[in-house]
A and B are shown apart, each in its own frame.
Chain A
């Protein structure tokens, strides 16, 4: 039995290692490419060890941009992406928690209808409703603004559903105790629901930040000025060149830079996550 187990373990580890290799290798190549000069990268024999142009490449990518005119420095694109992702994540948390609170704790006419309408929007991601959404944003003169980037992506049901599920696990007695303790609807929300929702909010924040950060189609559509470009659309533009070689080393540096904030969010929030999970109890 022991022998058998060991082989099982070895097999499992082998498969996992192989999987990790497949996922990590392209990232590694990008990292290596971002440390060489343009000539080394394009000649077809990609070295497997870091080169000596790291600082130069990253400095150029972040502060100067590509050698061609009208290329925005990555620093600015990072900023745009960050504002957009934060706006989407925070906006969604605020809207979702409030709508879930209304749907779960208040009796009003057409409450169930309201809930189902919210639910149905799950089936309407941006890509499906992109034309009307574009029209609305254009009419509101929000093209090339942060509001235009953020608002259409805030409205969706995932967060509302998540909070609704969570609120429904909170025992009714807690609400009743609050009522007896003289807490009105707002106090109950602020003093009891919000503190208890911290972990749910953290989870939603992570998901939505990454969702917002990785948006491609929408920013591509409504931003026309280079100064409003996000990093994800920016990388793509770096590689579309008409008469010259793409500056792969800069594009790769940008790609690596684009990965840093989402990874940081996951790493940082995971801590809060775990702490929240340990500390709260329904």
Chain B
């Protein structure tokens, strides 16, 4: 049980590449913190710095009130779950879990109790004598978790632990990890690039980009009020529609006499906040006139991809996220307009997100 604090942590590689550009945040005791961001954003590097597998160039990593910059990974009282599990291939499941405890000179009976208890929790009881290669991906994942649990560390570190599993198993394991963490109340840091995992697991969500923190907060706060266009398009699937504003009619629709709205350069609206309706939006909402280009029916909901008639195009913060000028509307059920039809999508004023022209600042309406 411990808090983890990062104080102005930086990492510069010998070649001069700055992977982490000064990061500050605190994780309270027992909280589940998720670091999320695109690949190469430094989230894994940051986690490995907490683990002690990467040196800290400057700043302080503090675990449970102790600065651990110069302390060996084994002595930091942490346990880590790796993406490829990193199980010892020649050891049985039992020994994989017991190895770390033995190295610490724990008495045998105590090791046995802990391993069997963890095996019980993770439903591995019947497999203690097997070798890792005789296990399925999900079971290996559990062994890796078991190895972390038996240590009863102050902090769990997870480095994209679910990305090697198939979609169905990933969802199941995600729920299990959350339940387990709630029960053990161990402070956890979890790295992922999957925004869905991030949203569902986190107490505190840290969105990272280019070695810096874009936004920190509870998942729903971040979803409701993304601080930058990067966060807006990264959190939420499908991503938020971002529309570059010119001196056009759209601005006229919601701006009214608000000064801040007049300063905004980018308008964001989530696909789920758009509704297809016959009437134009009232009281400061927006109305988009779209031509339907494609339809995706996923069962419970349908995604309608439309292009705006006007010259103003939507911009996307992350390359490849959303083609320019395209707007996604998410509607419940399976009834969708025909391809090629002209539709009108509206969003009410309280669903609009405004950003400065460079996308770095959020502007409140």
Using CB atoms and an 8 Å cutoff, list the residues of chain A in contact with chain B.
Answer: 171, 173-174, 176-177, 179-183, 187, 191-192, 195-196, 279-282
Nearest A-chain residue to B53, judged by Cβ? A176
Nearest B-chain residue to A278, judged by Cβ? B133
CB contacts (< 8 Å) of A279 on chain B: these are 90, 131
Q: List 7 A-B contacts (CB under 8 A).
A: A173-B86, A174-B86, A177-B88, A179-B53, A179-B74, A182-B104, A195-B90
Stretch at the interface among B77-85, B118-126, B211-219, B221-229: B77-85
Q: Which 3 A-B pairs have the closest CB atoms?
A: A181-B100, A173-B86, A182-B74
CB contacts (< 8 Å) of B133 on chain A: these are 281
A5–B72 alpha-carbon span in the complex (Å):
65
Nearest A-chain residue to B144, judged by Cβ? A177
Q: A173 contacts B84, CB within 8 Å?
A: yes
CB contacts (< 8 Å) of B87 on chain A: these are 177
A282–B132 alpha-carbon span in the complex (Å):
10
CB contacts (< 8 Å) of A179 on chain B: these are 52-53, 72-74
A180–B51 alpha-carbon span in the complex (Å):
8
Produce 1/0 per residue, B63-101, CB < 8 A to A: 000000000111100111011101111100000000110
* Nearest CB of chain A from residue B308's CB, rounded to whole Å: 47
Q: A180 contacts B79, CB within 8 Å?
A: yes
Q: A181 contacts B89, CB within 8 Å?
A: no
A173–B157 alpha-carbon span in the complex (Å):
14
Interface residue tally on B, bucketed by range = 20 to 34
A173–B44 alpha-carbon span in the complex (Å):
13
Nearest B-chain residue to A195, judged by Cβ? B90
CB contacts (< 8 Å) of B72 on chain A: these are 179
Q: A281 contacts B89, CB within 8 Å?
A: yes
CB contacts (< 8 Å) of A195 on chain B: these are 90
Q: B90 contacts A171, CB within 8 Å?
A: no
Residue in contact with B86 in the complex, picked from A171, A182, A183, A191, CB distance below 8 Å? A171
Using CB atoms and an 8 Å cutoff, list the residues of chain B in contact with chain A.
Answer: 51-53, 72-75, 78-80, 82-84, 86-90, 99-100, 103-104, 131-133, 147
Given contacts A171-B84, A191-B99, contact A180 B74 (CB under 8 A): yes
A171–B72 alpha-carbon span in the complex (Å):
20
Nearest B-chain residue to A179, judged by Cβ? B73
* Nearest CB of chain B from residue A183's CB, rounded to whole Å: 5
Nearest B-chain residue to A180, judged by Cβ? B73
A179–B73 alpha-carbon span in the complex (Å):
6
Given contacts A176-B53, A177-B80, A177-B82, contact A182 B103 (CB under 8 A): yes
Main secondary structure of the interface of A (DSSP, over half): helix
A196–B86 alpha-carbon span in the complex (Å):
14
CB contacts (< 8 Å) of B74 on chain A: these are 179-183
Nearest A-chain residue to B48, judged by Cβ? A176
* Nearest CB of chain A from residue B224's CB, rounded to whole Å: 37
Given contacts A181-B100, A191-B99, contact A176 B89 (CB under 8 A): no
* Nearest CB of chain A from residue B144's CB, rounded to whole Å: 9
A174–B99 alpha-carbon span in the complex (Å):
13
Given contacts A181-B100, A183-B103, contact A174 B79 (CB under 8 A): no
A30–B115 alpha-carbon span in the complex (Å):
62
A179–B89 alpha-carbon span in the complex (Å):
16
A183–B84 alpha-carbon span in the complex (Å):
20
Residue among B75, B78, B87, B88 facing the most chain A CB atoms (10 A cut-off)? B88
Nearest A-chain residue to B79, judged by Cβ? A180
A187–B78 alpha-carbon span in the complex (Å):
19
CB contacts (< 8 Å) of B84 on chain A: these are 171, 173
Q: A181 contacts B90, CB within 8 Å?
A: no
Given contacts A179-B53, A180-B51, contact A192 B80 (CB under 8 A): no
Nearest A-chain residue to B87, judged by Cβ? A177
Q: A192 contacts B88, CB within 8 Å?
A: yes
Nearest B-chain residue to A196, judged by Cβ? B90
CB contacts (< 8 Å) of A173 on chain B: these are 82-84, 86
CB contacts (< 8 Å) of A177 on chain B: these are 80, 82, 86-88, 147
Nearest A-chain residue to B104, judged by Cβ? A182
CB contacts (< 8 Å) of B132 on chain A: these are 281
Given contacts A176-B53, A179-B74, A281-B133, contact A187 B89 (CB under 8 A): no
CB contacts (< 8 Å) of A187 on chain B: these are 103
CB contacts (< 8 Å) of B79 on chain A: these are 180
A281–B131 alpha-carbon span in the complex (Å):
10
A49–B78 alpha-carbon span in the complex (Å):
75
Given contacts A182-B104, A281-B133, contact A176 B99 (CB under 8 A): no
CB contacts (< 8 Å) of A174 on chain B: these are 86, 88
CB contacts (< 8 Å) of A182 on chain B: these are 74-75, 100, 103-104
A279–B74 alpha-carbon span in the complex (Å):
29
Nearest B-chain residue to A183, judged by Cβ? B103
A280–B133 alpha-carbon span in the complex (Å):
8
